[in-house]
Amino acid sequence: MGNRFQVQDRLKGGAQYIDGRLRPGTSGHSHAIVNPATGEQVLSHDLAGTEDVDAAVAAARAAFPGWAGATPGERSDALHRFASVLAEQAEDLAQAESLQCGKPIKLSREFDVPGTVDNTAFFAGAARHLQGQSAGEYSGDHTSYVRREPIGVVGSIAPWNYPLQMAAWKVLPAIAAGNTIVLKPAEITPLTSLMFAQAATEAGVPDGVLNIVTGTGREAGEHLVGHPDVAMTSFTGSTPVGKRVAEVATATVKRLHLELGGKAPFVVFDDADLDAAVHGAVAGALINSGQDCTAATRAYVQRPLFDAFVAGVADLMATVRLGDPFDPATDLGPLVSHTQRDRVAGFVDRARSYATVVTGGRAPGGDLEKGAYYLPTLIAGAAQDSEVVQSEIFGPVLVVLPFDSDDEGIALANDTPYGLAASAWSRDVYRTGRATREIKAGCVWVNDHIPIISEMPHGGYRASGFGKDMSMYSFEEYTQVKHVMYDNTAVVRKDWHRTIFGDR
C-alpha cells in the first residue's frame, strides 16, 4: 500500500534533520509510526531527546547571521526553488501524508500538497515585500523609519492533523522573514515534515536554517519551548497543551504565537439554500475525518428548516464512501490513530444518555475493522451546555441544534470558549453581514465553510489562541518592528532639553 518502502529508504539516516542532514534521535526511546488504515507499522524511529534539541537550536543559531543577512531577493530565490522542488515531489509527499495520517489520497493530492506548494510560492514573493510605515519627519526635527527585523531562532511545534501544511505554515513566514527555525512535528506523523526539510536543502536553503526534531511533547517539545537560545515559540495544537506551552515560554519571556483548538459553528438562517447548506455541512464536518480545527462541528438551524436539514444531512452522510485511503474513490479514511478513534467514540457514547445519535455513532467493522475508522455521525437533541456542543471532538461528528430568532442563532454561535472559524448561510446580505460582524471568530465564511487561501490570514480569537498563519499578517508574528529616529538639526542644545536644563 502506498510508497512505504520508499519512505523507509528516504529516512534511513534517522528521523532528526539537523544542520542539513538526517540523524537518529538520542532519547533512548523509539516510536512506531502506524498506518491507521491497517494498524501496521510503517517505520520505527528513534525519538529526539534534549541533546538533539540542543544540537538543532545550535545549528539554527549558527545559520542565523548568514540567513538574516541575505537579501530579500536571495531568500525569495531560495523559496521559489523550494516551491519547485516540492511540486516535483508532489506525489511522494501525497503518498507519505496519506500513509501516516490515513487521509484519502485525493485529499492529500488536491489539498494538502498543492496548498503547501502554493504557500511556499506565496512566501517566496512575500519575502521581498516586508512593509512598514513610510519614513518621514513626524517630529519636525527628526526623520523616523521602521525596520522589520527577524527575531532569531524560532521554535515551532505542530500537530498531526495536517502535518505537511502545518509545517509549511510555521516554517515559511519565519524563514521568509530571515529567521531560522527548529520545528517539532507530532511524533506520530513526522514523515512529511522531514521530507519538507530535505526538499528545502535540495532547493539550496542553507544548512541549519530549517531543522526538524521528532520527539515527544513532554521531552523534546518542552525543552524547545524553554530553550534560552530560542527567541520565539510558535505552537499549533490543542488548547490545553497551548496553555502549558504558554507557561513554559513565559519563564524565558519569548514571543509567543498560539494556534489552538476550535469548535466552529455553522449557522443556517431560514432563507438559506437548504441543499447548499446540507452539502456544505456534510463536507465541512467530514473533511479530514473531522480532524480539522475549522471543521463544521455545531450546526444551528433556524426552526423552519430544522427537520429538513437533519434529514438531508443524515441521508447525505450515508452516501459517503469509507475505504482504503489509497483508493482514489475513497471519500473518508480512518482517523489518525486508534487512540483518536476511541476518544471520538467516547464523546458519542456519553452523548447517548442526553441526546439522539441520528446516524453513525460506531466503527464500520467488516473489511475496515482493523483500521481506526468511524462512521459519519450526526447528533441531535443535545443541550447547548452539553459536552458534545462545548468540547472539541476532532472526529467526523456534527451536532445539530435549532434556533428561533437571528439574535439567538448568533448568541449560540458565540457560546463556547473557542473562536477560530464559523459560517453563516443565508440569501440575505444584511443577515450575513450582521453575522460576519458579530460572530467572534478569526474567519467567517458566508455560504461556504472550509476554503483557505495563502493570501488571507488564519488564526483564532479567545481560547483558539492568537497570532496569524499564512498571508502578510504572519510577518507581524515573525518580525521585530524597530523604530529608528535620526536627529536632523545637528544642534547641541535641543528644544526639549529645556525640560532638564530650564533656561540655563
Q: Which are the catalytic amino acids?
A: 259
CA–CA distance, 504 with 502 (Å, rounded to integer): 6
Is residue 390 a contact residue for ligand NAD (CB under 6 A)? no
The answer to whether the CB of 466 falls within 8 A of the CB of 442 is no
Other Cβ atoms less than 10 A from the Cβ of 206: the count is 16
What string marks each residue from 461 to 500 as x (binds ligand NAD by CB under 6 A) or -?
A: ---xx-----------------------------------
Residues near 110 by Cβ (< 8 Å), separated by ≥ 6? none
Other Cβ atoms less than 10 A from the Cβ of 434: the count is 16
Binding region for ligand NAD (CB under 6 A) out of 128-136, 182-190, 299-307, 496-504: 182-190
CA–CA distance, 441 with 462 (Å, rounded to integer): 8
Nearer to ligand NAD, 37 or 393 (CB): 393
265, 422, 438, 461 from 434: Cα distances, Å: 15, 13, 6, 18
Is residue 244 a contact residue for ligand NAD (CB under 6 A)? yes
- Of these, 161, 201, 297, 302, which contacts ligand NAD (CB under 6 A)? 161
Spatial CA neighbour of 360 closest among 409, 317, 301, 330: 317
What single-letter DSSP state applies at residue 332?
Answer: B
Binding region for ligand NAD (CB under 6 A) out of 62-70, 130-138, 190-198, 210-218: 210-218
Nearer to ligand NAD, 187 or 406 (CB): 187
Q: Is 376 helix (H, G, I), strand (E, B) or coil?
A: coil
Other Cβ atoms less than 10 A from the Cβ of 290: the count is 24
The grid cell for 480 is: 521585530
Beta strand extents in 309-416 (DSSP E only): 356-359, 377-380, 397-403
Nearer to ligand NAD, 81 or 223 (CB): 223
The answer to whether the CB of 314 falls within 8 A of the CB of 360 is no
User: In this chain, which residue has its C-beta nearest to ligand NAD?
Assistant: 217
What string marks each residue from 14 to 53 as x (binds ligand NAD by CB under 6 A) or -?
A: ----------------------------------------
- Of these, 7, 59, 153, 245, which contacts ligand NAD (CB under 6 A)? 245
CA–CA distance, 429 with 41 (Å, rounded to integer): 52
The least distance separating ligand NAD from the CB of residue 453, rounded to whole angstroms, comes to 15
The answer to whether the CB of 313 falls within 8 A of the CB of 281 is yes
Is residue 159 a contact residue for ligand NAD (CB under 6 A)? yes
Q: Is 172 helix (H, G, I), strand (E, B) or coil?
A: helix
The answer to whether the CB of 295 falls within 8 A of the CB of 288 is yes
- Bridge partners of 154, per DSSP, are 181, 232
CA–CA distance, 42 with 367 (Å, rounded to integer): 20
- Of these, 217, 304, 381, 417, which contacts ligand NAD (CB under 6 A)? 217
Nearer to ligand NAD, 371 or 467 (CB): 467
The least distance separating ligand NAD from the CB of residue 260, rounded to whole angstroms, comes to 5
- Of these, 269, 394, 425, 445, which contacts ligand NAD (CB under 6 A)? 394
Binding region for ligand NAD (CB under 6 A) out of 30-38, 156-164, 348-356, 371-379: 156-164
Q: What is the footprint of ligand NAD within residues 412-441 (CB under 6 A)?
A: 420
Nearer to ligand NAD, 161 or 180 (CB): 161
Nearer to ligand NAD, 306 or 445 (CB): 445
Nearer to ligand NAD, 85 or 249 (CB): 249
- Of these, 92, 97, 118, 259, which contacts ligand NAD (CB under 6 A)? 259
Is residue 409 a contact residue for ligand NAD (CB under 6 A)? no
The answer to whether the CB of 179 falls within 8 A of the CB of 64 is yes
The grid cell for 221 is: 517539545
- Of these, 53, 83, 117, 157, which contacts ligand NAD (CB under 6 A)? 157
Spatial CA neighbour of 20 closest among 258, 199, 142, 278: 199
Amino acid at 52: D
Binding region for ligand NAD (CB under 6 A) out of 40-48, 129-137, 215-223, 366-374: 215-223
Is residue 264 a contact residue for ligand NAD (CB under 6 A)? no
Binding stretches for ligand NAD (CB under 6 A): 157-161, 166, 184, 186-187, 216-218, 221-222, 225, 236-238, 241, 244-245, 259-262, 293, 392, 394, 420, 458, 460, 464-465
